[in-house]
Structure formats: structure tokens, C-alpha cells
Amino acid sequence: MKLNELLKNVEYTALNGANPEITDVIYDSRKVIEGSAFVCLKGYTSDGHRFAQSAVEKGAAALVISDDLDFEIPDSVAVIKTADTRLALALMSVEFFGNPANELMTVAITGTKGKTTTTAMIAEIFEQSGIKTGTIGTLGIVYGGKTYKTDNTTPESYEIQKAMRDMINAGCKAMVIEASSIGLKHNRLAGIEFDAGIFTNFSDDHIGGVEHKDLAEYLYCKSLLFRQCRLAAANIDDEKWQEVTKDFKAPVMTFGFSEQADLRAKNAHLLSGDGFIGVHFETEGSKSLSLDVGIPGKFNVYNALAAISAASFFNIPDEAIIKGLKAAKVKGRVEPVSVPGNYTLLIDYAHNALSMENVLTTLRLYKPNRLITMFGAGGNRPKVRRYEMGETSGRLSDLSVITEDNSRFEDVMDIIEDIKTGISKTDGKYVVVPNRKDAIRYCINNAQDGDIIVLAGKGHEDYQEIKGVKYHMDERELIAEILSEQSSNE
């Protein structure tokens, strides 16, 4: 593709008349190939302009810059100057991959909490209606049963455009993405007109450091999504919903418990039994449904309402919504694992005191026979985290099973002693099983009817880091091995 075709929607000044054929659009100088366009991005710790000369030496046919360069550039290399190279990267990537968003049903979700869960719910609803769907977010780029890891919740624009094209090539008809405030701030979603934008909620987060300077900027960045959506839905029970959607040019569909909501929830209550743990509720207003959501916590009613709102924009059958919400789960977030006994086994990413507090407090509401928490703590991290995690589990669990978790360069038993220091501040019972597979086996072998067992800390991770080496370890596989061993011994 010719350079000027890639730049058709970019405001720029050409510093020479070259218009080369471009083989790829690159923003990491280490990946430059012959004939590529190298876009100089300014990051938190590095500046792509510093690597422009290296890119030319590796064969870059064009440079996209916002600052002047201090080396002599060959006449054969096109130089494009623009005010915002991140915006240019996004718009160039759209053209390079043939505007894939136009070939997909697209939904973007923004909000402080609930993005990952709502994304999973919408994707499952679409799948239940026969629409093959890919997702982009905290868990990576997911489609066709495979997960491709990313560095950010909302990846760089080139990765998003490439992912959408790959999804289309794999047969996907829809894409759901988590639109983080940082992603919106840095134009990673620029050039996409989403079919639907969804707002979940807003609270104080991501303030300071390299994220947002204050709450006003954080809120403003969330609102940017609604400048690039054809349809929109928002949580009416969140006091910031109108401010977040103020730039949307049409009526916003609202959801919540409020009588003013277009889609209203009622009769919400917790639901558990036979290994199922979730919440039941009904809807009225724009849809009348009776639903069981297979993810625990009443707050997930809001995520489900957001998912129903999104589905309604595409005329998805009610049956697919009902089935999708019951089947939806988020890898590593209170994720249920099927077991033969009359107890509930969950995998969760909770790896600090606050996340443990949230998960265990939610599960306590289900009044289990016993709440059992298996967890460890990361090595080469502040010891106070271990004390706090031990104290939290000791206070909220009927039994804590202390084990390993990414010990890194520390001795597992030293970490466990620190956790025990925290537990000792409570009356909580505990056992120590240093090997994680043995700890899972202990939990399964000692499970009683009505127990809820949480394997905390690893979540979606599929490795265990020990002395600088990441060893493959997926808790789902360990559980399957343990159950298989038990079955063969019977």
C-alpha cells in the first residue's frame, strides 16, 4: 500500500516528496522490516524519535514524527510530520488492515469496574446466538478458543486493528473490547466507529503517576468513547452517567434498578446449589426476562444488564441472552470448575488483601457450610501484603490453606511464615501445604457438602515463577489431574 493511502485520514506535512510502497506499519524499532513505515511514539520512559536512525538503517521506507530529528535522512526515506503520532498510528493501522471494524459487529465497554465480566457476558450471548465472537481486554485477545496475551487492557491501535482482521479471517462476525480510559486517552481506539458503546460505572481509580492527573481527566477520557459510537447504553444508577455520555448525539439507552431506567432489574437474589453459584433477577421495561447469572454477587446484575442492553441493539433472541448469561464465566475471576462432589470450587485472581476481601465477602453472602481459601503470596514483593492477606483470609475464611504462589527468588517457607504472622492476628484456622498441587488436592480431598473453596492468586495465569523461571502451571489442568488420579484409584 502506498504511503499516501495509509495517510488519507491523517493531518500531516510531508517533509519530502517520497511516496514509497509500505510493507508494514511499525512502532517498535526492533521490529522494523525493509519497506516499513516507522511511527515514532513518545512513551512514559522512552521516545521513538531516539530510534528513528536505527529504523532507517534497518530499511524503514518512511518515518512518522512529531519532533525534529537530528540526523541526515536519505532522500529515499519519506518523512511525515504530524502533531500526534499515536493518532497517526491508529489511523494508518485502520487503512493498513482494511478497516476491519466495518466487517464486524462491534461493542466497546468503558467504566471503572465490570468491563471484563461484561465483555465475557456479551461474547457468550453472541456465541449462543450463533455469532462467532472475539474479545480484546484484560485477559488478552481471545478468539477461536485461543488467547493471545497483551501488555495492556486496551492494546496499542495497531494490535487492535490486526486482531480484528485476524478475527475476521478466523470466521468471527463480532468483536467486544474493553475501552480503558488510558486506551482512550492515547487514541488506541481512534478511527473506529463502534456499533455500540456501554458505560458500566465510575469511581476513583487510576489517578496519579503515569495514568490520570486527576478525577476530572479520568472522567473525561471515559467520555471520549461516546464520540465514536452509533448506539449507547449507560448505568442510570451511577451519578456520572450523563456526564460520561454527554458527547453522544442521540438518546442513550439506560439500565439499572431505577424506575426511570429503560431496562430495569427487579427481584434480585443470590442463587446457589449443585455446584452453581450466581444470582437470579428479572427485567422489565424494554425487555421482560427471568435470568440466572452464573457469576456470583448481586453487583453482577449490573454487568448482566449492560450485556442485555448491548445484545438488544443487535436484536439477539431472548433465548440466547438467557443461555448466555447462565453460561458466561470469566477466566480466573470467581471461575467455577466442575467437580463431582456437592461443593463449589472456584478459581480467582485475588492476590492482595483488597481483592481477597471483595471476593470472600461476596462469597460469605451465600452462607456456605465452610468457606475455604487456598492462597500464597508473591516473592520479592512487600511483606506487608502477606501479613494483610493472611489477616484477611483468617478473618473471612473458615479454613485457610497456605501454599506457594510465584515465590520468585524467595524461599516459599519464608513467605508462608509471613502469611502466618497475619493469620495469627485472627482466630482463623489454617493448614500449610507448600506445594500448590498438593494444596489443591488437600482442598478437594477434604471438601464437605455445601463448602465453597476458592483457589486464590493465580486466576488466568498459567505459570508459576520460581527463581527467574516461569514453569507452566494451569490450575484447571491440576484439578483435572487430581480428579483423574482419584477416579483411577477407586
Closest CA to 360 of 316, 320, 409, 398: 398
The CATH number given to whatever domain includes residue 347 is 3.90.190.20
Check residue 204 and give its pLDDT: 66
- Please report where in the chains the cell 449507560 appears, as a residue: 234
Closest CA to 367 of 270, 267, 266, 268: 270
Provide DSSP, 167-206.
HHHTT--EEEEE--HHHHHTTTTTT--EEEEEE----S-S
Q: How many folded domains does the chain comprise?
A: 3
Q: 413 near 404, Cβ under 8 Å?
A: no
Q: 212 near 171, Cβ under 8 Å?
A: no
Check residue 17 and give its pLDDT: 84
Q: Which residues of 193-209 are buried (b: 16+ CB within 10 A; e: fewer)?
A: ebbbbbbbbbeeebeee
Q: Which of 45, 79, 96 is the last residue of a domain?
A: 96
Which helix H or strand E contains 234, and what residues bound it? strand 229-235
Mean pLDDT by 10 residues, the chain (490 residues): 97 94 97 98 91 97 97 95 98 98 98 95 98 97 95 95 98 98 96 98 68 83 97 98 96 98 98 89 98 96 98 98 97 94 95 95 97 97 96 98 97 98 98 98 97 96 95 97 88
Within this chain, do residues 322 and 463 fall inside the same structural domain, yes or no?
Answer: no
Range of the domain at 389: 335-489
Q: Which of 307, 327, 347 is the last residue of a domain?
A: 327
Cell of 198: 456501554
Within this chain, do residues 308 and 159 fall inside the same structural domain, yes or no?
Answer: yes
Q: Is the pTM of this model over 0.85?
A: yes
Within this chain, do residues 294 and 342 fall inside the same structural domain, yes or no?
Answer: no
d(CA 390, CA 375): 9
Check residue 203 and give its pLDDT: 83
151-197 tens-digit pLDDT: 899 999 999 999 999 999 999 999 999 999 999 999 999 999 999 99
Provide DSSP, 323-363.
HHHHH--BTTBSEEE--SSSSEEEEE---SHHHHHHHHHHH
Check residue 208 and give its pLDDT: 60
